[in-house]
A and B are shown apart, each in its own frame.
Chain A
């Protein structure tokens, strides 16, 4: 995949739009407490695409759901802050949150076709966003508005398409509809949770292009959740790598790929097949993601970590490392980089 966004410097220096601090979301199940999100912090700035990457079950989607306060029982946001334009979303009333969703913060999902209601026309579902957020309830919403929304995401024959039902559309088309829906109010922040995972590669590129274009046009912030390092490389300005409910590394994309610090990130990058390079076997990270109910006492990655053995580190399995700034703008949670005086 080629990349064209990296020539543009990440929009930094401005005030963060979203600041997540020490977010914890636990699920209280019969088997025990599942620490799905366990102390995650990051910021998203206006005009920036923040990649959140990690394997399934590392808590990246749950982080997004927590920001929108859409965590279902038995899950609960236990602590932390999610400051959106300086106001803590986690302290807002349900009514205030409902008003923000879809208007100031929008979200799109992994499986676009099942994310649309099968019994309602596309136009109905598009216009619903306008309907629920309009200030003056007496002003009717017009079908033309739905057509405009579809045109905005490059759907050909939009006037006819609004009368379709979701089952009459392809996955890529449905994801465009989802994007159109999420763009209705030009939100400040778009959360895209694996937006292209269920799509063909060509469609995937189109959808990613669309998201990037909308970001450029509207100076919107994007929180892009994915497990695909290729998508991260192509899209993100800055990346947070998550592992077992925590952030283990955070760096600008180029830096992360050129010089990954955390052994887990290195493992992820090494496991990407590179075109033209002949390898007998792809690198793998041995072992499995730890059980989120019964986490290892020290570093969560320690049981799978080769670097721990190579460097003969003893405290990894006893004490959890902190997220420290190892290099300017490059943070990592690993005992390799943390000396006693940084604690």
Chain B
């Protein structure tokens, strides 16, 4: 098991290097130049020469890549050309928003999708099954931004002044603030040392749990419901369909008959014998869904007025802010690789036959 994971981990290194190279190259292949899009009308040739010199943009592409890799390996992701701030700082601000949204969306998709899939498979061809699958097919074909708009209209506008109202924008209600956990715990941190605690503290719900601020948690979570539903609907539908078909197949297998013949109750037959075997493809799908989830977040963040990775990535691509594009792409890739690593580990845990290979 450990060697299996070590092998997977080693394989992640060339993947990440490849991603670094491709994003680096793609960012520079875009027409337009960073100086003019950053400085706008103020950009004269002299100023731009100085700008390019300062940011090393006059060096050859290969030299730039060498310096970049060297910096990344030393933990330095560079400075934003546009904001003139370290990229890490931007990341502490933006990444928690997207991660929190993605986590809530995934939670919504998994906690609803798997049970729906199980019910559909167990009562297959029943009204429940047909209803769920129609819903799932609709959900999977729904554009995320459109669903987002509809949800915010329904819950934010149409249901205003009812108990079902939900905030359609922002992360917290105006006036509500959650004290960062490191302050509450009396940690004395600032500057670079703040990077990691600051990152954690900016995940509002997690921070609220850490300090036990339940009103803050409720408010933050309430703001997440609509965007999480918007982003989570497609994965939810895919997970429900995959759970259904996978479980349906497993329930027809011989060992399920054995389980019944030895007197296991139905709940154990489906839960212990069926689900564990049916989960393999579902786990894969959950891992892959995170990709569509992160990209879905870009649009959703705009609809729900959240300043996450999606927004800044869009802005920096249009603004030729190379370092920011590279850094955020890298981070998303790392998250992706990491999630797939977890998927691989789950595979090995779920199916002993994989551990041998």
Task: Name A residues whose Cβ lies closer than 8 Å to a Cβ of B.
Answer: 68, 70, 98-103, 106-107, 109, 111, 114-121, 128-129, 132-133, 165, 167, 178, 181-182
Contacts and interface: CB of A to CB of B under 8 A. Distances in A.
B263 A102 contact: yes
Interface of B: 253-255, 257-265, 268, 272-273, 276-277, 350-353
Contact of A98 (B254, B263, B276, B351): B263
B264 to A, nearest CB: 5
B279 to A, nearest CB: 9
A267 to B, nearest CB: 31
A120 B257 CA distance: 15
A125 B356 CA distance: 21
B260 A70 contact: yes
Nearest to B258: A115
Given A132-B265, A133-B263, 19 more contacts: A70-B260, A70-B261, A98-B263, A98-B264, A102-B263, A102-B264, A106-B261, A106-B262, A109-B254, A115-B254, A116-B255, A116-B258, A117-B258, A118-B277, A119-B351, A119-B352, A129-B262, A181-B258, A181-B262
Contact of A182 (B253, B262, B351, B353): B262
Contact of B262 (A118, A132, A165): A132
Given A132-B268, A167-B352, A167-B353, A117 B262 contact: no
A117 B259 contact: yes
Given A115-B255, A119-B277, A132-B268, A165 B261 contact: no
Name the prevailing secondary structure of the A interface residues. Answer: mixed
Nearest to B277: A119
B263 A132 contact: yes
A102 B352 contact: no
Given A114-B253, A114-B255, A165-B352, A119 B262 contact: no
Given A119-B276, A132-B265, A101 B258 contact: no
A106 B257 CA distance: 12
Nearest to B273: A117
A37 B351 CA distance: 38
B264 A132 contact: yes
Contacts of A181: 258, 262
Contacts of A165: 352-353
Nearest to B279: A119
29 contacts: A70-B257, A70-B260, A98-B264, A99-B263, A101-B260, A103-B263, A109-B261, A111-B254, A114-B253, A115-B254, A115-B255, A115-B257, A115-B258, A117-B258, A118-B255, A118-B351, A118-B352, A119-B350, A119-B352, A120-B276, A128-B259, A128-B264, A129-B263, A132-B265, A165-B352, A167-B353, A178-B258, A181-B262, A182-B262
Contacts of B272: 120, 128
Contacts of B350: 119
Contacts, number: 74
B267 to A, nearest CB: 11
Nearest to A114: B254
A102 B268 contact: no
Contacts of B265: 98, 132
B277 to A, nearest CB: 6
B258 A109 contact: yes
Contacts of B262: 101-102, 106, 128-129, 132, 181-182
Contacts of A111: 254
Contacts of A106: 261-262
A98 B350 CA distance: 27
Contacts of B254: 109, 111, 114-115
A100 B261 contact: no
A107 B255 contact: no
- Closest 7 pairs between A and B when the two form their complex, measured CB to CB: A102-B263, A102-B262, A101-B263, A114-B254, A117-B255, A107-B261, A165-B352
Contact of B261 (A102, A116, A167): A102
Contacts of B257: 70, 109, 115
A15 B253 CA distance: 37
A114 B253 CA distance: 8
Which residue, of B254, B272, B350, B351, has the highest number of chain A Cβ atoms within 10 A?
B254
Given A109-B254, A178-B258, A118 B263 contact: no
A132 B254 CA distance: 19
A129 B273 CA distance: 13
Contacts of B255: 114-118
A120 B272 CA distance: 9
Which residue, of B254, B255, B265, B351, has the highest number of chain A Cβ atoms within 10 A?
B255
Nearest to B276: A119
Nearest to B264: A132
A287 B213 CA distance: 80
Contacts of A100: 263
B248 to A, nearest CB: 12
Contacts of A101: 260-263
A134 to B, nearest CB: 11
A225 B253 CA distance: 20
A133 B262 CA distance: 9
Nearest to B352: A165
A112 B162 CA distance: 60
A133 B260 CA distance: 13
Contacts of A114: 253-255
A180 B30 CA distance: 69
Contacts of A103: 263
Nearest to B355: A165
Given A111-B254, A132-B265, A118 B260 contact: no
B262 to A, nearest CB: 4
Nearest to A166: B255
A178 B255 CA distance: 11
A103 B261 CA distance: 10
A117 B261 contact: no
Contacts of A68: 261
Contacts of B263: 98-103, 129, 132-133
Contacts of A109: 254, 257-258, 261
A222 to B, nearest CB: 15
B265 to A, nearest CB: 6
